[in-house]
Amino acid sequence: MGFRLSLLDQSPIADGQSAYQALQQTIALAEKAEEWGYHRFWVSEHHDTKLLAGVSPEVLVSHLLARTERIRVGSGGVMLQHYSAYKVAENFHLLATLAPNRVDLGVGKAPGGLPLSTKALQFGRTEKLDFAEQLALLKQFVDGAVPEDHELAGVGVDPEPPTKPDIFLLGASVASAELAGRQGVNYCFAKFINSDELVLKEAVTAYRAANPDGELIIAVPVLAADTEEAARALAGEQKVVRVTLSTGVSVTLQTVAQAEEFARQAGVTDFEVEERTANIIAGTSQQVKAELERLRATFHVDEFVIHTPVTRQDARFRSVQLISEAILTADVR
């Protein structure tokens, strides 16, 4: 096969469904992912969307670790700008102590919500570090390597896990790849956010030049079904919405209503909303396999994180199962 497969789950809340039901499906999918041979299972962080139930990945990671035995579990990712790097390091040291060699600490730069939820998450903070400073400090805390001249030198991060959690920066730009490379952390390019393969190629090149020994993963939107027609019909229902404010800020959201609300909360009246059909790898399991093999050969990556952007449980689980049967199970027969 030549590459590993992992999953990213956002705990989507389908129409008529409760958040409880969505989280139960995430738990069931993690258990199946382990059974079907996936390497990692990551959960995301989103706030005040009413569409996604995963608001606190570290809490959900803890539960998923207890419900599984072997699969790596992690955040995809913690939105680091909102939090103390020290507390994030403590949380994941504790997780890695509870489940040694199974924990991934993925972090992202995006807000994970609308301006008001960002304000609420950061309310009362008197100091806010630049994201690059936050990421550097997080790595220093996890590695136990805070410089002697830093004002926090000497502080311990307890407990000390048998194996440190693996740190990944999640991004969708050349700049994020360069940052991950400079900081010496692993990198995951979110192709389900930015499908431009020229940008992906530049990001891969930049990251490998700066950190040739780091792990490089591509997160891809994938939807497999029993027939090509069924897969493409489901994929055609999925939309990508992007709002660009007159200030230059640009954010990807789930719906047009969310995009308009983002602009309202940001206090901007001049903005553009673009809605387009999502660029999803869709087809039979063999067609999906062929496309992943093309990406593997083009970008020389060792692992893909699969994101299945549908709310229907039956379609999501069937897609994950079909891909496993075509790639993971077939590889060990």
Q: What is the pLDDT of residue 330?
A: 60
Predicted local distance difference test score (pLDDT) of residue 221: 97
| CA–CA dist 145, 167 (Å, integer) | 15
Return d(Cα 184, Cα 180) in angstroms, integer.
6
Tokens of 291: 């496309």
Question: How many angstroms separate the CA atoms of 38 and 296, rounded?
Answer: 17
Per-residue pLDDT of the chain (333 residues; tens, 9 = 90+): 568 999 999 999 999 999 999 999 999 999 999 999 999 999 999 999 999 999 999 999 999 999 999 999 999 999 999 999 999 999 999 999 999 999 999 999 999 999 999 999 999 887 778 999 999 999 999 999 999 999 999 999 999 999 999 999 999 999 999 999 999 999 999 999 999 999 999 999 999 999 999 999 999 999 999 999 999 999 998 888 999 999 998 888 889 999 999 999 999 999 999 998 889 999 999 999 999 999 999 999 989 999 999 999 999 999 999 999 999 876 543
What local confidence, expressed as pLDDT, does residue 333 receive?
A: 39
- 227 contacts: CB under 8 Å, gap ≥ 6: 284
Pairing verdict, β 40-43 and 303-307: unpaired
Cα torsion for 93, 161, 187, 11, to the nearest 10°? -50
- Chain-centroid distance of CA 191 in Å reads 11
Structure tokens at 185: 């952390």
Given a contact cutoff of 8 angstroms between Cβ atoms, the answer to whether 80 and 88 are in contact is yes
CA nearest to 53, candidates 14, 10, 116: 10
**pLDDT value of position 254:** 85
Alpha-carbon distance of 116 to 126, in angstroms, equals 18
pLDDT of residue 332: 43
Write down how long the chain is: 333
pLDDT for 253: 86
Rounded Cα–Cα distance for residues 72 and 4 (Å): 12
Gyration radius of the chain's alpha carbons: 19
Tell me which residue of 72, 133, 140 sits closest to 106, measured CA to CA.
72
Q: Is residue 6 within 8 Å of residue 30, measured between CB atoms?
A: no
Per-residue model confidence (pLDDT) at position 73: 98
State which amino acid sits at residue 272: E
Neighbours of 14 (CB within 10 A): 15
CB atoms within 10 A of CB 217: 25
Asked if 232 and 284 touch (Cβ cutoff 8 Å), the reply is no
Kindly write down the DSSP assignment for every residue of 69-107, as one continuous string. SSSEEEES-EEGGGS-HHHHHHHHHHHHHHSTT-EEEEE
Amino acid at 126: T
Among 113, 178, 184, 110, CA closest to 145: 184
Residue 27, number of CB atoms within 10 A of its CB: 17
Residues ≥6 apart with Cβ < 8 Å to 276: 239, 240
Q: How far is CA 238 from CA 101, 177, 222, 223, 277, in A?
A: 36, 27, 12, 11, 6
